[in-house]
Chains A and B, each alone.
Chain A
Amino acid sequence: MELLQTLEQMGQDLLGPAWLPLWTLLKIVVIVAPIMGGVAYLTFIERKVLGYMQDRIGPNRVGYFGLLQPVADGLKLLMKELIIPSGSNKFLFVAAPVLALMPALAAWAVVPFADGMILSNANAGLLYILAMTSLGVYGIIIAGWASNSKYAFLGAIRSAAQIVSYELAMGFALVCVLLAAQSMNLGDIVRGQQNGYGMLGWYFIPLFPMFVVYFIAGVAETNRAPFDLAEDESVIVAGFHTEYSGMGFALFFLAEYANMILIAALTSVFFLGGWLPPLDIAPFNEIPGLFWMLAKMSFFLFLFLWFRATFPRYRYDQLMRLGWKVFIPLTLVWVVVVAAWMQTPFWLW
């Protein structure tokens, strides 16, 4: 930390007003580069985990233990030809993958990795997160429409309806967090969960139903199994990215996995105390907060993979029913319950 401060001071003296944009750019690179690396290795871990769950070995040919597999896959996708279908809207067809990836990366600006380790300590952080996660659907809709293909369009329509439905439940779950923390700043939300008793102070205890709803809605928002109706390969080929090849396809993949990591990070921040240690005693609180944050994120990412290996895909009407008839009433009631609970002396958080 002191080293960082001296570095910042030095840069300030050296470059003057040009230093701030440069320093911010550096911070962005420091956040985005590990996310991209994480995405690459998440695909590898996904294939390994799915493999072992299905009694297979998974990729093990490229590099030791198959560790170079993501690099090989990335290279392959880079080398492939970009095919633009005839009759498609060329500009939007090319712009769609970019529109899908952009909000997935932009949302990381307000995510705290450890105490003070945050790009933008914005007061309206929670609102910003909601706004950014709701923008990801544009890439999918535009991709489906611009492809000029029936399957892609069906996938896009499914995705739009799904994301709009689950966003409501997600928003109400976050209203409960907001009530409990009395702040929309993500750093303050984590600090609100610090009460000296370790994990007993985390919001997943008073807001347990919201914790479950938020994570399931997160799985649905990212179009992951069992909610991957937008790319339902047994029904609509590959859904919205049927017509994409090479790097366009890779960008959609990057966006999906970056969104998964984001949902994992957000669930840890909102409900599992972000960078806080599970027990506030000697060996645990000596470990840096970043480690705890990453451990919690890894847990949720494993859940994503576990879901994919375990659950059969939802039917579309079941998906809509779960969103509108189960999650939204449940979250609405819990908002009232939490608001009333907080007025009583039994609120201990």
Chain B
Amino acid sequence: MQTPRSDGRASDEHLRALSVALDTNSRASGSSYVELGNTKVSCAVYGPRRPRVDDLTVNTGVIDVDVFRVPFARKRAIHVERGRENEREKDLNRSAADVELSARIADVLRACALTETFPRAQVDVYVTIMDSDGGEVVASVLAASAALARAGVEMADLASACELVRIGERLVLDPTEEECERGNGKVFLAQMSSEEGMVQGETFGRWTADESRRALEQCAAGCNRFDTIVREALAKS
């Protein structure tokens, strides 16, 4: 007998409802709006355009990602930590965590997009996190890859992502913020679902090698289910 989860889901393997809307922004080359439970992310892709000189690469295109977080999507105000009060991080909406999140999403997109198809050009991806209740990285990856596809950027495959949290002995898929806080281990996986190629994986906490492998497998199954939903939305549009 499995304990139902705090948000009413019956099983640890259940994902939250994912809804994907495309072309939500009339000015962008491609755009999307993704809701994963209470987590809401909007993404707009602009370009291709001529890159700045210092970003110019010869054989491949550039994908630049910026993640913004609306102030009310934050749970608490950020405290300025010791030694972290430098210029770039003074702006409360651009914490180091968000800059890192941008870099992570950029890594995923660069692995999936065929950047050699638009050499000497740049595509800008703007991700806006509008509400956050766990899984904001998952929602951001799904939104960005859908928007990139809508913008007509050639990709090896769509990127899909999923998270998992270990609470005691339970492995809970697609956790809410509250479940994340109770957990003592967390796995994030971004993959290309048609090939099951791991694009980015992060495991935190203490695991045996077997447990860690099993958690990744469960995440991969979650990725596949999200991937199907995004694919359906793209096919319909």
A binds B: no
Interface residues of A, Cβ cutoff 8 Å to B: none
